[in-house]
Amino acid sequence: MRRALIWLSSVVVATGAGAQGPPNTDVYLAPLTIEGGRPLIGPAVNVTHRIGYDNQPSFTANSRAILFTSVRDDGQSDIYRYDLTTKATTRVTSTPESEYSATVMPGGKRFSVIRVEKDSTQRLWSFALDGSHPRIVIAALKPVGYHAWIDANNLALFVLGRPNALVHTDVRTGRSDTLARNIGRSLAPLPDRSGFSYVHTVDSASVLAAMRWPARASRDLIALPRGSQDIAWASNDLVLTASGSKLLFWHSGDSAWSDAADLSAAGLTEISRLAVSPNGKWIAIVTVPK
């Protein structure tokens, strides 16, 4: 069995899974529309619906499928795909290593993952969309916890340490440099591709910040609700987060978060990760099922 990562609400530290194992989480899918600047969330459907760890959803470039991390009966962490049209789930990777945080790369022909190698090293790898032809993206940088593509040549990475660091890497040269410290796990390219967002700690609060690229000009946007650590951009000036059973939204320039939807009636009471499809019509929601 492959060595797994410790399960501390995020999957980042290679120290062994321990007796408890991964948490029981499911991925839900809901239609998303924006009316008058307000996000409207349709009925959420459980697309994994099984006991076990299904998490870290991201959409393919054509918005027709979701890639997600799943731990099945064999105890291995692999990448699976859910097709929105056929509603079929297929296994994409099946390797002696563990793969997490699948992200379709710029160009749409491959996806990148955080891979836990046989010696527990965590580095960034990539695969063809069908799970074939694995290759390492950055050999020298480790241990990597999370990542986001700024563009085809530049990466923003969460690198584990004390404290954790936000690191930029140019994949053409392999050169890396630290941009910030004390960051959280949520990294996301800005919808207009002008840079990326990240979460960092300011006076004990988790604050969403945006860094314009290539200027490297960073600006704090708004503090996240207490207990929140994940965001998803719905448009250039609209971002979503979650707190408990509620989805909340923030418009650029607003002073506070506003309620978008309370999903407790559908059994979504511990919402964490979110992903919005590239066409803006769908939202994937991770929660601990009832």
The two tokens of residue 78 are: 């692999």
d(CA 40, CA 160): 36
Q: Which of 62-71, 122-131, 281-290 has the lowest mean pLDDT?
A: 281-290
Sorting pLDDT into bands at 50, 70 and 90, what band is 6? very low
Per-residue pLDDT tens digits for 48-58: 999 999 999 99
Whether 5 shows a pLDDT value over 90: the answer reads no
Any idea where the domains of the chain sit in the sequence? 26-287
Per-residue pLDDT tens digits for 196-252: 999 999 999 999 999 999 999 999 999 999 999 999 999 999 999 999 999 999 999
Please tell me which residue, 258 or 17, carries the higher pLDDT value: 258
Task: Give φ, ψ of 240 to 5 degrees.
Answer: -115, 150
Cis upstream peptide for 191 (omega within 30°): no
Task: Give the DSSP letter of residue 12.
Answer: -
Sorting pLDDT into bands at 50, 70 and 90, what band is 290? confident
Can you name the CATH fold of 26-287?
Answer: Neuraminidase (2.120.10)
pLDDT at 76: 87
Q: What is the mean pLDDT of the chain?
A: 93
**Among residues of the chain, what percentage have pLDDT more than 90?**
89
pLDDT at 20: 59
Whether 7 shows a pLDDT value over 90: the answer reads no
Whether 14 shows a pLDDT value over 60: the answer reads no
The closest of 148, 233, 249, 241 to 192, measured between CA atoms, is 233
d(CA 33, CA 235): 11
Alpha helices in 111-196 (DSSP H): none
pTM equals 0.93
d(CA 218, CA 200): 11
